[in-house]
Amino acid sequence: MKITVVGTGYVGLVTGTCFAETGIDVTCVDIDKKKVQMLLNGEVPIYEPGLDNLLARNLEKGRITFTTSLAKGIQGSDAVFIAVGTPPDEDGSADLKYVLGVAREIGQHMDDYKVIITKSTVPVGTSFKVKKAVQEELDKRKVDIPFDVASNPEFLKEGSAVDDFLKPDRIVVGIENDRAQKTMKRLYKPFLMNGHPLLFMDIFSSEMTKYAANSMLATKISFMNDIANLCELVGANVDLVRKGIGSDARIGNKFIYPGTGYGGSCFPKDVQALIRTADEHGHSLEVLKAVENVNYRQKSKLVEKIKGHLGTNLNGKQFGIWGLSFKPKTDDMREAPSLVIIEQLKAMGAQVRVYDPVAMEEAKHSLGETVVYAKDEYDACIEVDALILVTEWSEFRMPNFRILEKIMNQKLIFDGRNVYDPEEMRELGFQYYSIGRET
Ligand code: UGA
């Protein structure tokens, strides 16, 4: 079999490389010449554990290649995955110009049957817009080439994307007929070894599933953040409450960790887009609107604690930030809570030193020269009035507090991820603030 993946961003690159791993012949297409050249040399432009080795192996075996020419890239393909970006419009809805542009180009160049699959996260109904765009181009060419569209949303998480793709919890595919189903079944057969299902459904339901999944996960997080804030007010400990409710299988113990609010390229964008879709249909998604508001508020939670302790004039104060990326194991800075926290601290006159194990370069695009980039986690704490832990990288779990107390101006920690034990902090003589627990 041969497939083409259009777009070598996060989703496209993982998809292409993982399909190649099963022995399928994969061509990835991207308009960015520099990126295509890098990938042909085996250089992965994003930080994603395991992806570089997998790509190198498949390049060596000749199972994957990269090109800037979509016309060439789709020749002989059984399936074309569209995995280009859908950035949010000004009004929060997904901008489909790239997806539909690719669809048109496919229509202009295809010359035999293909399943054209939307892999990017797109609003309900988009696959039919793809179908229309392809058909219009075929009509212009006055050719009658059969094709099918399908929707195949991605559920992979940054930081464990390769594993998620190779061992998925489930694969969701929206199709219109048996021919497309047969192709998709053949493609995904190698990934079903762990017994998890390949779920076929209609295209509308498949597209909706992606938004519903991300929105439900975002809801869990905002719910827990709201409960954590109440825990503080009534004197409860959210960690215990989390364990208490998480043992109920109906609730589950995953994705109920309070923190500094969800970030990344998916949850904020998808929650917004679903609210927008519902509004367009005259239905107001009240729960999701609250989820968004709570998340917005949560990003300032640590700064509020800082203000409560140090006051609102932070002139002459210096802070050390541990963790910049929106979550561990990625260099992705999109919608990272660290950016909001740093901006607010600076607005109050503070100096900021930052350290992240992998996101420092990426962070420079947003933070520029407004902060000091430390060489390691201790360097980030030299002469600071407080340490603020924003992203829970595992290397921050067991720091040497004896070193910290020597280099910090004050023994003060604001922990946005509840990484440390409040009692231990007290014993060590640190003033310690966390989320939803006693101070
Ligand atoms: C998310 C989904 O988990 C994937 O299934 C989906 O495929 C992906 O979006 C997407 O739509 O492409 P991702 O954005 O990589 O994946 O990140 P998550 O691991 O889901 O974390 C999202 C945010 O929630 C992070 O800011 C994280 O810190 C926060 N979070 C997560 C919490 O605050 N508490 C938790 O208990 C879990």
Is 334 annotated as belonging to a binding site? yes
Q: State whether residue 181 is helix, strand or coil.
A: helix
Ligand 1 atom closest to 161 (CA) = 15
**Amino acid at residue number 85:** G
- Is 0.90 exceeded by the ipTM? yes
Report which protein residue has its CA nearest ligand 1's atom 23: 262
List all residues whose CB is within 6 A of at least one atom of ligand 1: 121, 154-158, 214, 217, 221, 255-257, 259, 262-264, 266-267, 326-327
Residue numbers of the chain with a pLDDT score lower than 50: none
How high is the pLDDT of residue 332?
93
- Assess contact for 383 and 318: CB atoms under 8 A: yes
Could you write out the DSSP letters of every residue in 3-28?
EEEE--SHHHHHHHHHHHHTT-EEEE
**CA–CA dist 148, 411 (Å, integer):** 63
- Assess contact for 389 and 380: CB atoms under 8 A: no
**CA–CA dist 16, 228 (Å, integer):** 40
**CA–CA dist 26, 380 (Å, integer):** 44
Report which protein residue has its CA nearest ligand 1's atom 6: 155
Report which protein residue has its CA nearest ligand 1's atom 3: 157
**CA–CA dist 179, 439 (Å, integer):** 61
CA of 157 to the centre of ligand 1 (A): 6
Question: Based on the number of CB atoms within 10 Å of its own CB, is 305 exposed (0-12), middle (13-18) or buried (19 or more)?
Answer: buried
- Give the single-character DSSP code of 282: T
Is 210 annotated as belonging to a binding site? yes
Helix axes 286-298, 267-280, angle to 10 degrees: 150
**Numbered ranges of CATH 3.40.50.720 in the chain:** 2-201, 211-297, 299-433
Cβ atoms < 10 Å from Cβ of 215: 21
How high is the pLDDT of residue 88?
76
CATH superfamily placement of domain 2-201: NAD(P)-binding Rossmann-like Domain (3.40.50.720)
**CA–CA dist 170, 225 (Å, integer):** 28
CA of 397 to the centre of ligand 1 (A): 20
**CA–CA dist 439, 432 (Å, integer):** 6
Q: Write down the H helix ranges in 236-334.
A: 238-246, 267-280, 286-298, 301-310
**CA–CA dist 135, 155 (Å, integer):** 29
Is 266 noted as a catalytic residue in this protein? Answer: yes
How high is the pLDDT of residue 265?
86
Q: What is the CATH number of domain 211-297?
A: 3.40.50.720
The closest alpha carbon to 288, from 300, 276, 299, 297, belongs to 276
Domain 299-433 indexed as CATH 1.20.950.20: no
CA of 328 to the centre of ligand 1 (A): 11
Q: Which of 260, 266, 392 has most ligand 1 atoms within 8 Å of its beta carbon, as the pocket-test mutant?
A: 266
- Assess contact for 324 and 391: CB atoms under 8 A: yes
Report which protein residue has its CA nearest ligand 1's atom 10: 266
Is 263 annotated as belonging to a binding site? yes
Active-site entry in 28, 231, 266, 381: 266
115 forms bridges with which residues in the sheet? Answer: 79, 148
